[in-house]
A and B are shown apart, each in its own frame.
Chain A
Amino acid sequence: MTALLKMQGITKAFPGVKALDNVSLTVNTGEIHALVGENGAGKSTLMKVLSGIYPAGSYIGDIVYDGQPAKLAGIADSEKLGIIIIHQELALVPLLSIAENLFIGNEIAKAGVINWPEVYQRTEVLLKKVGLDEKPATSLGKIGVGKQQLVEIAKALAKDVRLLILDEPTAALQENDSQNLLQLLLELKLHGITSILISHKLNEIRQVADRITVLRDGATVSTLDCHAEHISEDQIVKDMVGRDLSQRYPDHQRQPTDVLMKVKNWNVWHPELSDRQVIREVSFTVRRGEVVGIAGLMGSGRTELAMSLFGKSYGRKISGDIAIGGKAVQCDSVDQAIAAGMAYCTEDRKEMGLILDETIVNNITLANLAAVAHKGVLNNAEEQKVAERFRRAMNIRTPNVFQRVLNLSGGNQQKVVLSKWLFADPQVLILDEPTRGIDVGAKFEIYAIMNELAREGRGVVMISSEMPELLGMCDRIYVMCEGQFVGELDAAEASQERIMSMIVKE
């Protein structure tokens, strides 16, 4: 095995934070190398160094690529070497077609005039390579996230990739889409493409990785060889968090009492397509002290349901009744919904959850400013106390609570969104993919918080695409398919197979 890439002694500091401290990483030619670590361990930062986003000179250390020292001044340089990064957040243009997206910035053109026949032809070849059955002219916004992810990879292939970096590619994907993607990685490996895979889903990593490098607090902890020995998930976790974490779900003894929220005959129509009904006759209940799950495939309408309930933030022609604590409540706007005791923690933290340019403090208090203000005048000291409290409770990694949220790692951003809604002190908390992009340790913390909320007599609704987590945390699970509830299972009788069969039957 020859090393394709050697990163040595990489140190990168931001004001107040040493994101990387003398990190070394060696990636062999033709392997799938997994990079794991807690939120904020420095994985994304290391990859940004590698891809030239943080140019040579802005960090200390050496990169040797293909036996040559590499000084990368920008993305263009790394792409020239065949290093292509696919970011935690996709970088595609929804309004353009698949073909256009594939060749953005890399157009097949003569003297600036695009050669469309060739574009389409090459697109078809590339789409076949990644196993995506879509027309090149389909606009990207019309296909699901899973397929968009494949488009990203096709885009990398279009650039003659040698080293493919994927930063949490499956975080937003459904189980089977994830499997597709992993299979594709294995296939690319056969074609000699080396990849670096960042993920918090350890089962996936065990499935495809040849070697695993674990980062903790900005330093390399270990590199595990998956072929030399049998590596268990617990072992990886131990290296990641620095201690044994035998349990994935905290113990819970829940005794749900009376009905807290009741939704009856909820109907929602698409905001633009007037003939499309998105939610059809959905009814459900949440009891005090209960964690209720909503299972379903991507696009089954779970987020749309939650958002339409939350002050009609989605859809048109909404009808149906909501009662909280036995009283019918009017929820025509978000502030009414919050006043009625609801909170909705979005799945899309960057677009809809956070003000990225603002500080952690300002984000946490945003949904409940009245609690830190007197007659409309903010009490900054009180705000800071609140933020400190959540920083400690949620273990948000940051030098101080006055950091801009933009500078936090993905998982820590998620914790800020959660803190915001916990501070709003809701009766019913709807969590939409609350553990997306969150490391195992932090997941455990979030589950513990959900338990705590239930213990206090609140209701928690969890929307998740990760079935094990639904099964591990919920008292009851509703199964959703194409805008309808197609089944309801008690924790005791629920299993992955039963949920899937309910979905498939529809």
Chain B
Amino acid sequence: MSQADQENVHPVTPVYLGRYLLSHLREYGLLFALIAIMLFFQVMTDGTLLKSVNITNLFLQNSYIIIMALGMLIVIVAGHIDLSVGSVMGFIGAFSAVLIVQWELPVALAIPLCLALGALIGAAQGYWVAYWQIPSFIVTLAGMLIFRGASLWLLEGQSVGPFPKEFQALSTGFIPDFMSPGFRDGLLALFEVRRINAGALVVGVASALVVVWLNLRKRQQNVRYGIEEEPTGFFVARNMIVAGALLFVVFKLATFRGLPNVLVTMAVLTVIYAFITERTTIGRRIYAVGGNEKAAKLSGIKTERLTFLAFTNMGMLAALAGLIFAARLNTATPKAGFAVELDVIAAVFIGGASMAGGVGQIIGAVVGAFIMGVMNNGMSIMGIGIDYQQIIKGLVLLAAVVFDVYNKRKRG
């Protein structure tokens, strides 16, 4: 068979490049889609989208969706779905208001209590799904109703606030500049800007370097295994775009108020969950359960426990999202989290996860969430009504999934 020669040498012809791009449309597609959407709104909003203030806002507005998308990706990869996250998020927000505003509990105590309650709620739902084999769609649909009602009951239909400063910092705080003033002054002169958070810039440059380094390492590994297909030019271009975008965003943030606390929380969580899903045994097992539960079970994997854990984790992340959301609004309202589950689920599917389970990546879910976020933000700035916004988001979701299925067919 002419396998061996096909394997190692890739003649770099336009035909080959074209074919490569076609067969990896999905991975590039997501990145391109995000960039295209950003450019589109940048133009349509007369440059408002990429202003420092707005970029900061983008993160503040979408962090809770991204955080929940991390948990939702795992639930979906495991072959399930969680419709209750919006309600749970709202309920925990309400619960935190009761604890902090009404009972005046210290914030440092209230936060862990809320996270624990979230995990407990997730566990309670996961219990039915995992050990009773009740479809997650039904269990979490029930949960969605229950916790929507519970928030109303807890808040007695009222908004409760405001929160103390240190709680608000969860969402609206920024990381203070930790670099020396001398260094900062140097940067101010260099970039000719009025203010700059030097620490933020340093963190940004460092993380861009780390991302490039990780990609490089991955590529080297693939080359060693003889499975690297990406042409060098593509690799360089992709990394330049990613690193460039990262630097651009960080520069914008640094010249405003620095890195928002939520951004850091979100980034750290993303890294942790990407690591768990890609590099740990538990991650591998979750993919196995979603891919073929029977085979996973017969391989000695405790499928029930994994499902249970996936929901518990989702509950905890929904609680965290609830806290962040309440902190940003500075009040808990009974309407908080309404229909948010749809945005979260949409983000995960736009990011390439499969409804059947076993397929999907953390980074895809995050990019999917950003795509949703940028669309929400851009359309709001443009003054597009909520009616059209919904329609457009629905179409984008459908397009992404159709694109997936089409790609899969072509490959098969």
- A residues with a Cβ closer than 8 A to B are 15-18, 21, 217-218, 310-311, 313, 333-335, 337-338, 344, 346, 351-358, 362, 366-367, 369-370, 373, 376-378, 380-381, 384, 399-402, 420
Partner of B358 from the list A217, A344, A346, A355 (CB cut-off 8 Å) is A355
- CB atoms of A399 and B358 under 8 A apart: no
User: When each residue 167-195 of chain B gets 1 if its CB lies under 8 Å from chain A and 0 otherwise, what string results?
Assistant: 00000000000000000000000000000
- B residues with a Cβ closer than 8 A to A are 1-3, 6-7, 23, 221, 225-227, 279-282, 284-285, 287-288, 291-292, 294-302, 358-359, 411
- CB atoms of B299 and A366 under 8 A apart: yes
When distances are taken between beta carbons in the complex, the residues of chain A under 8 Å from B297 are 313, 334
Output the nearest chain B residue to A373 by Cβ-Cβ distance.
B281
- CB atoms of A18 and B298 under 8 A apart: no
- CB atoms of B302 and A16 under 8 A apart: no
- CB atoms of A335 and B225 under 8 A apart: no
Q: Is the interface of B mostly helix, strand, loop or mixed?
A: helix
Question: Chain A nearest CB: distance from B174 CB in Å?
Answer: 33
Instruction: Given contact pairs A355-B288, A378-B281, enumerate 18 new A-B contacts (beta carbons under 8 Å).
Output: A18-B1, A18-B3, A21-B1, A313-B298, A333-B300, A334-B299, A335-B300, A338-B300, A352-B298, A353-B298, A355-B291, A355-B295, A366-B288, A366-B296, A370-B281, A377-B281, A380-B221, A402-B225
- CB atoms of B358 and A366 under 8 A apart: no
Q: Cα distance A334–B284 when bound, in Å?
A: 18
Top-5 shortest CB links A-B: A355-B291, A335-B300, A367-B299, A369-B281, A334-B300
Q: Cα distance A218–B2 when bound, in Å?
A: 10
Question: Chain A nearest CB: distance from B219 CB in Å?
Answer: 14
Question: Chain A nearest CB: distance from B147 CB in Å?
Answer: 32
Q: Cα distance A335–B305 when bound, in Å?
A: 13
Q: Is the interface of A mostly helix, strand, loop or mixed?
A: mixed
Q: Cα distance A381–B225 when bound, in Å?
A: 9
Please, could you name 20 A-B residue pairs with CB atoms under 8 Å apart, sorted by A? A15-B23, A16-B6, A16-B7, A17-B3, A313-B297, A333-B300, A334-B300, A344-B298, A351-B292, A351-B294, A352-B292, A352-B294, A355-B287, A362-B288, A366-B301, A369-B285, A377-B279, A378-B284, A400-B226, A400-B227
When distances are taken between beta carbons in the complex, the residues of chain B under 8 Å from A384 are 225
When distances are taken between beta carbons in the complex, the residues of chain B under 8 Å from A400 are 7, 225-227
Partner of B3 from the list A16, A333, A358 (CB cut-off 8 Å) is A16
- CB atoms of A18 and B2 under 8 A apart: yes
Q: Cα distance A378–B285 when bound, in Å?
A: 11
Output the nearest chain B residue to A359 by Cβ-Cβ distance.
B227
- CB atoms of B7 and A399 under 8 A apart: yes
- CB atoms of A355 and B6 under 8 A apart: no
- CB atoms of A335 and B288 under 8 A apart: no
- CB atoms of A357 and B358 under 8 A apart: yes
When distances are taken between beta carbons in the complex, the residues of chain A under 8 Å from B2 are 18, 21
Q: Cα distance A354–B227 when bound, in Å?
A: 22
When distances are taken between beta carbons in the complex, the residues of chain B under 8 Å from A376 are 280-282
Partner of A352 from the list B3, B226, B295 (CB cut-off 8 Å) is B295
Q: Which of B3, B221, B301 has the most C-beta atoms of chain A within 10 angstroms of its own C-beta?
A: B3
Question: Chain A nearest CB: distance from B4 CB in Å?
Answer: 9
- CB atoms of B295 and A354 under 8 A apart: yes
When distances are taken between beta carbons in the complex, the residues of chain A under 8 Å from B285 are 369
Known: A310-B298, A334-B300, A402-B227. A354 touches B292 (CB 8 A): yes
- CB atoms of B1 and A358 under 8 A apart: no
Q: Cα distance A303–B289 when bound, in Å?
A: 23
When distances are taken between beta carbons in the complex, the residues of chain B under 8 Å from A362 are 284, 287-288
Q: Cα distance A401–B358 when bound, in Å?
A: 19
- CB atoms of B281 and A218 under 8 A apart: no
- CB atoms of B284 and A357 under 8 A apart: no
Partner of A357 from the list B221, B291, B299 (CB cut-off 8 Å) is B291
